[in-house]
Structure 1
């Protein structure tokens, strides 16, 4: 007859056997932390979780290492050369997204960011082409960004130099750029529906890239019934989708197919043109997800970069003064300078790039999936393996940057003060999954930054010597909330 002791011994034997089998199966993968039953090796991230956790693991286990999320292998590439080899040299091997329970709940395998195969290729191609039609890189969208920049300058001016948290002001302006691109209009700051949209984007991103997401992917049957940031993120995603659907329905009621004005117009026209194409993936559901992707990818990231920009200007007043002097020397009182003129202000351009490098706004690159067996840096990566390119490690690689841990605009300048590119500058990713909004973000950063620095000197509030540069650690890594004083200058906007 079975006794309690016999049952316990039997269970322990099964656990030990399972553990040994796991250890044996892990031998074909790169090195990494000890893999435990059920949990895997992801436990290492629970210990002293910080922005540097992944780089610390690379120092211990090498430029290619593995983390096990339960039974799911996640291979991480660290350092510029390894990241470049994987994402650029073997771009076609890492062009998929892993279909994890959490990402499926957020996207239903639709849109651009989390889709794969034919859906992803068609939606991405359409997105890139449509953004060009809307004037990306020309005067169209740049004119709308300029309007938002002037509105932002006025918003800071209204504060009259008093301490203010810049986050709300920046978020409103950046979100309205995406509204102009997708809906063809901007919303007033007090619009209740707009405020809900803006807050939903923040909540969605706050619930992504957290321990709760990891637990959801490990135990979805449990976590989908438990409260937490993961549930709030999914609810926020539902609100964003419903918001976009309302706009789509309004457009359908007054659709003018021959004169599209924004992303939704162009997409509805494409649906009409593709009705008889059996391979078409153009649909209302994909449209909703694509627009949602544009909002999520294009608001919090650019807003966080600008929030870091103002903080760093306040903390490094000498650099701020050099930017202001260059802008005045080159443009004077002219109001007509544009993104194309950035070549005339190399120091300002270098400072913007250094802000993106020094305070990269993602914890780590979004996960990809290996679509074919491949060898990277001598390690065999089987088809279906989830991989992560640590772009932050490339932006801080001591082999590519003279002072990687310091805020130093000279990283992008030669000895004569001319702007120079650096191949390790990858804030928008690399390879097949590089951000389709890269050029839009570059235009926004240049126009917002130059307009603000031309109009104000930013400094810490009275009694504050230096604003904290510690980031919030989640998928997007903005600074902790802070207040700043925008002191008006004599220059025009």
Structure 2
């Protein structure tokens, strides 16, 4: 009897184990997650990735694992979407599911999940809706956004003219001009180029850009607990961002003292009015903290991306004088030399429009996109992606798609021209991302790129300091963005 009882218990355990294994296997098959390379404990796939050129690493992995695959950045899991079809399906067709913001530890440390870029859920929805509405309203005010850009383009042209055709690095000129547009919208005024307060803010922005090139910034996102206790560029970036926040809080305090609720002067005033309206709401998303973070988001996003695009664009155009010559013929024909370019001109300037699009496609400024996350357990194609998983919809794989853009590594305005010379739109043109999280300042950036670049070429011809054939237009890869090599150029009056 004892032997029989022992045998029975053994059989029951075996049957239970078999049932458990079968159940788990069935569940696993129902919830198959995207494939990926074998991971190591703690470090994940870090040794299989080139941290200075993650797009290239993802391209290699996509050839082995397909357009949807899993990687581990340290102990954190992420799903990579590679190619137009996968990116479009996620960000547009299943846009709600993929509308979360991926939580990068450094961004969390810097911005604490507030503001437009890094927030999620109801906070993100309300802040984004308010920002888009307010930017639109100020664009239709006494002085439209287009008029502000035209005015700043005039100041930029005169400043360049004062260099008297001497070679110089135009980076600061471009940063100052682009920054003044968002400053006029957010802070209420453009700044004189020599204004001490303005130069302090720009200096902090430039310092942040330099610090973000460091590999340690990338490593912080993989191993934040360890790097929190170590010195390095990440600590300087945290301090620098804190100074920007202090600067903006000072401007907010000045606005609070002089606020006229019946006549908001800028974005900050409009936000302060909204805070007053929601004063009795204990759960309001409109607080001084979210105002500070949202203002910083608008300033950084509205300055860095566009100014870097213009800076890179001018480098590329130096290499191709024949492209500049053709643009200038079109500018002379449509606009002439005496009036300012405007957005109505763009539809009559297919070649110049194609060049501005090709600049954005070619430079592929943020190749990995700002990471997303899924806001719920999500089925994508044949895969199960758990809620909260970080998602990398790789823009590089879309902007450099060889079927849509033949020879994608070559700069060619023909990528956006039909055979008859008219402008050709492309669904693959996603430099600002796509779907729910598309850049809130896309319209502003497109206006700035067209008007600034056209105004410069209307007034000047570019003269490089080296033979144009020797100009290197390949990007310098940083953890977050592709940036151009430093250069000097002479602007010869036309």
Q: Which residue of 2 aligns with 1:383?
A: 387
The whole-number CA distance in structure 1 between the counterparts of 2:338 and 2:197 is 37
Sort the Cα spacing of 1:61 and 1:248 in 2 relative to 1 into closer, same or farther, 3 A: same
The whole-number CA distance in structure 2 between the counterparts of 1:304 and 1:390 is 20
Sort the Cα spacing of 1:485 and 1:333 in 2 relative to 1 into closer, same or farther, 3 A: closer
1:229 Cα offset (Å): 1.9
Greater CA drift, 386-395 or 413-422:
413-422
Q: Which residue of 2 aligns with 1:476?
A: 481
Q: Which residue of 2 aligns with 1:95?
A: 99
The whole-number CA distance in structure 1 between the counterparts of 2:51 and 2:244 is 34
Q: Which residue of 2 aligns with 1:452?
A: 456
Greater CA drift, 93-102 or 451-460:
93-102
Greater CA drift, 217-226 or 313-322:
217-226
1:207 Cα offset (Å): 4.0
1:157 Cα offset (Å): 1.2
Equivalent residues of 1:301, 1:361 under 8 A apart: yes
Select the residue among 343, 350, 359 that pairs with 1:346.
350
Deviations 1:266-310 (A, max 9, x none): 111111112123442111110000010011111111011101111
Sort the Cα spacing of 1:413 and 1:486 in 2 relative to 1 into closer, same or farther, 3 A: same
Sort the Cα spacing of 1:155 and 1:97 in 2 relative to 1 into closer, same or farther, 3 A: same
Q: Which residue of 2 aligns with 1:287?
A: 291
**Structure 1 residue 356 corresponds to structure 2 residue 360:** yes
Sort the Cα spacing of 1:82 and 1:138 in 2 relative to 1 into closer, same or farther, 3 A: farther
Equivalent residues of 2:341, 2:455 under 8 A apart: no
Q: Which residue of 2 aligns with 1:182?
A: 186
Q: Which residue of 2 aligns with 1:21?
A: none
Q: Which residue of 1 aligns with 2:222?
A: 218
Equivalent residues of 2:335, 2:341 under 8 A apart: yes
Q: Which residue of 2 aligns with 1:403?
A: 407
The whole-number CA distance in structure 1 between the counterparts of 2:469 and 2:419 is 32
Sort the Cα spacing of 1:38 and 1:28 in 2 relative to 1 into closer, same or farther, 3 A: farther
Equivalent residues of 1:149, 1:448 under 8 A apart: yes
Q: Which residue of 2 aligns with 1:266?
A: 270
Q: Give the TM-score of the pair, scaled to structure 1.
A: 0.90
- Secondary structure (helix, strand or coil) at the match of 2:118 reads coil
Select the residue among 226, 232, 235 that pairs with 1:228.
232
- Secondary structure (helix, strand or coil) at the match of 1:416 reads coil
**Structure 1 residue 82 corresponds to structure 2 residue 86:** yes
Q: Give the TM-score of the pair, scaled to structure 2.
A: 0.89
The whole-number CA distance in structure 1 between the counterparts of 2:365 and 2:124 is 25
**Structure 1 residue 62 corresponds to structure 2 residue 66:** yes
The whole-number CA distance in structure 2 between the counterparts of 1:293 and 1:68 is 28
Greater CA drift, 370-379 or 299-308:
370-379
Sort the Cα spacing of 1:197 and 1:362 in 2 relative to 1 into closer, same or farther, 3 A: same
**Structure 1 residue 194 corresponds to structure 2 residue 203:** no
The whole-number CA distance in structure 2 between the counterparts of 1:463 and 1:356 is 24
Greater CA drift, 146-155 or 40-49:
40-49
Greater CA drift, 321-330 or 401-410:
401-410
Select the residue among 257, 263, 270 that pairs with 2:261.
257
Select the residue among 474, 486, 489 that pairs with 2:491.
486
1:52 Cα offset (Å): 2.8
Greater CA drift, 259-268 or 278-287:
278-287
Greater CA drift, 166-175 or 223-232:
223-232
The whole-number CA distance in structure 2 between the counterparts of 1:209 and 1:118 is 32
Q: Which residue of 2 aligns with 1:437?
A: 441
- Secondary structure (helix, strand or coil) at the match of 2:183 reads helix
Q: Which residue of 1 aligns with 2:156?
A: 152
Equivalent residues of 2:464, 2:490 under 8 A apart: yes
Q: Which residue of 2 aligns with 1:120?
A: 124
| Structure of higher CA gyration radius | 2
1:459 Cα offset (Å): 2.6
Sort the Cα spacing of 1:150 and 1:216 in 2 relative to 1 into closer, same or farther, 3 A: same
| Structure 2 residues without counterparts, runs of 5 or longer | 1-27
The whole-number CA distance in structure 2 between the counterparts of 1:333 and 1:160 is 19
Q: Which residue of 2 aligns with 1:420?
A: 424
- Secondary structure (helix, strand or coil) at the match of 2:100 reads coil
The whole-number CA distance in structure 2 between the counterparts of 1:112 and 1:344 is 35
The whole-number CA distance in structure 2 between the counterparts of 1:45 and 1:202 is 28
Deviations 1:8-43 (A, max 9, x none): xxxxxxxxxxxxxxxxx9994323233111100122
Q: Which residue of 2 aligns with 1:3?
A: none
Sort the Cα spacing of 1:202 and 1:51 in 2 relative to 1 into closer, same or farther, 3 A: farther
Select the residue among 27, 41, 44 that pairs with 1:40.
44
Greater CA drift, 88-97 or 58-67:
58-67
Select the residue among 130, 134, 147 that pairs with 1:130.
134
| Structure 1 residues without counterparts, runs of 5 or longer | 1-24
Select the residue among 174, 177, 196 that pairs with 1:173.
177
The whole-number CA distance in structure 2 between the counterparts of 1:415 and 1:401 is 14
